[in-house]
Structure 1
Amino acid sequence: MIVRPRMHWLRMLFVWRGSVAPRILPRLVFFLALSLLAVALGPLPFSLKEGSLALLGVALAIFLGFRNSTAYDRFWEARKLWGSLTIVSRSFMRQALTHPTPALSTEEKREVADLLRALAMTLNHQLRGTQVALESLPPGMRECVAAADHRPAKVILALSQWVAKLRHAGRLSEILVTSFDDNLDRLSEVQGGCERIASTPIPYVYSVMLHRTVYIYSLLLPFALAGSLGWSTPLVSVFVSYTFIALDTVTAELEDPFGREPNDLPLDALTRAIERAVLEMADEPLPPPLRPDDKFLLT
């Protein structure tokens, strides 16, 4: 995710890092050359009316806006799910530190903190399709997680077994066990919600249709404008193409919020925030928070 301080409106016009301009610049250069060619060729054997393309442009803008809203809804839901993971992890840790009788020992506090850390780490790597570094996991979870296909579910099972162990030892009442169980159910809902977003993209045919329409429109636009705008055509044509192509590109990033593109969620930073929260509650040493790099990118 791009994290930059608020800038003056004039400087914002020339922002390069964090925008999609570097990615689409070769395409814009192509449409600039096409616009110059359209003006240089003069009148064509066939004619394109500005009004017909203007009508198509309005319809295209509406459909792109709808697709962008759909993609941002996925992004925002994913962020809310990770916010819920943070809240429930803190809540579970608070219950674990205050409710058992007698209170947890230092080793037991570390155990439950490690389980919650492992859940965030394994969910992060599952959603990104990467392999979690086993040495980064708590020692007690490495063998258990290494052999599992659905690693976050395995960690939630270990948390449930931890609660059951306290109940069998008589350290938790049935009411408290129910309260812990509610939080475990919420953790499972977060995992399921994230997996649903990651495994169900926006219908492919819908994306292809809009993508084709954007580029066909951008190809035809210079030839429709050349007759009336003359040498102003490249400026107007490239600006309109930039608007549509940039929106199409941003939408493609947002529909997969768990990736590693510049505008995706910073799962590593969110995972580290959960680690720090539960370790601080357990009075354990804290790893440093993750900060944006020199390109303002927070992963």
Structure 2
Amino acid sequence: MIIRNRPSLIHLFFIVRGSIVMRILPRILVITAMSALIVLTHRLRPDWLPTFESAPFALLGIALSVFLAFRNNACYDRWWEARKQWGELVTTTRTLARQSMIINATSVEARDRLLQMAIGFTHALRQQLRASEDLETQLTTRSQAGSPESFLEGMQREIITLRSQGILTDIPYSLLDQSIAHLSRIQSACERLLTTPVPFGYTLLLHRTAYTFCFLLPFGFADSLGWVTPFASALVAYTFFGLDALGDELEAPFSTQPNALPIDALSRQIEINLLQAMGVEDLPPLKKPVNFILL
């Protein structure tokens, strides 16, 4: 996620870090160079190039804009749904820490084990969603590395043991069980977002239409705009290719791209919250943005 203050009007046009300009710059340069070549050829050898009316490009541009907006809205919905799930994870772990305070009266060690496994579950889920990382090097607690399911099963076994020993009565056991079940639902929702992308047909149709439109645009405006055509084509390419690239980043909310969710930082925040609940004083530091990007 990009974390930075709102830029001034002057700086707005020169910001590169955290934007999608560098990703689409080669395509913009190709469109600009091709547009300049078309204008030059149109001036020197007008009979070599076909001519098009500009009106169809206006209609096609409107249709393409609507379709881009539809796809980007779908991608943003995925991003926002992922953020809500991780917000629920923060809330549920804090609730679990408060609910588990009843265990402190008889078994501090059991409560610490339960919260340690909740920390392990958070890091394991993050590692599963962002599979390029090494879980064991990311854990700053003593939790055993494993899959999210193994931590949930360990938490469930812990409260079952406490219930069988009479440490937990029915109501506290039921509350803790509901919190563990909620963690499982959050995991399932994140896995659904991870494994179910926007239908490929939408992306394929958008790519084909955007590239075709940008490549044909100079032919329609070389006569009327002249040497302004390369600039106009580059601006249109920046808009369409930029929205397309931004949609790709929002479609994968758990990736390490600049506009993805900062689940590393959220995991660390959950870890700090639970360690504080356990009375630990030597806490790991919060994650901070690096070059305006928080992962």
Q: Separation in 2 of the partners of 1:134 and 1:13? A: 42
Q: RMSD of aligned C-alpha atoms?
A: 1.6
Q: Name the SS for the 1:100 alignment partner.
A: helix
Aligned pairs, number: 289
Question: Post-superposition shift, 1:46?
Answer: 2.5
Q: Name the SS for the 2:105 alignment partner.
A: coil
Aligned equivalent of 1:91: 95
Q: Separation in 1 of the partners of 2:143 and 2:24? A: 47
Q: Separation in 2 of the partners of 1:280 and 1:187? A: 20
Aligned letter for 1:25? L
Contact 1:101 1:172 (C-alpha < 8 Å) held by counterparts? no
Aligned pair partner of 1:53 in 57, 61, 64: 57
CA, structure 1 residues 103+50, in 2 after alignment: closer, same or farther (shift >3 Å)?
farther
Q: Separation in 2 of the partners of 1:176 and 1:77? A: 30
Question: Post-superposition shift, 1:101?
Answer: 6.8
Aligned pair partner of 1:174 in 164, 170, 174: 170
Q: Name the SS for the 1:288 alignment partner.
A: coil
Aligned pair partner of 1:126 in 101, 104, 128: 128
Contact 2:103 2:111 (C-alpha < 8 Å) held by counterparts? no
Gaps of 5+ in 2: none
Question: Post-superposition shift, 1:132?
Answer: 3.6
Aligned equivalent of 2:230: 234
Q: Separation in 2 of the partners of 1:212 and 1:123? A: 36
Q: How does 1:60-75 map to 2 (within 5 A)?
A: 60-75=64-79
Aligned pair partner of 2:103 in 75, 100, 105: 100
Q: How does 1:191-202 map to 2 (within 5 A)?
A: 191-202=187-198
Q: How does 1:26-45 map to 2 (within 5 A)?
A: 26-42=26-42, 43=46, 44-45=48-49
Aligned pair partner of 1:292 in 258, 264, 289: 289
Question: Post-superposition shift, 1:102?
Answer: 2.7
Question: Post-superposition shift, 1:45?
Answer: 4.5
Q: Are positions 1:141 and 2:160 aligned together?
A: no
Contact 2:140 2:284 (C-alpha < 8 Å) held by counterparts? no
Q: Report the TM-score, using the length of structure 1 for normalisation.
A: 0.92
CA, structure 1 residues 296+28, in 2 after alignment: closer, same or farther (shift >3 Å)?
same
Q: Are positions 1:258 and 2:242 aligned together?
A: no
Which 4+ runs in 1 deviate beyond 4 A? 137-140
CA, structure 1 residues 48+100, in 2 after alignment: closer, same or farther (shift >3 Å)?
same
Q: Name the SS for the 2:180 alignment partner.
A: helix
Q: Are positions 1:246 and 2:248 aligned together?
A: no
Question: Post-superposition shift, 1:9?
Answer: 3.1
> What do residues 57-85 of structure 1 show as CA deviations (whole Å, max 9, x unaligned)?
00000000000000000000001101101
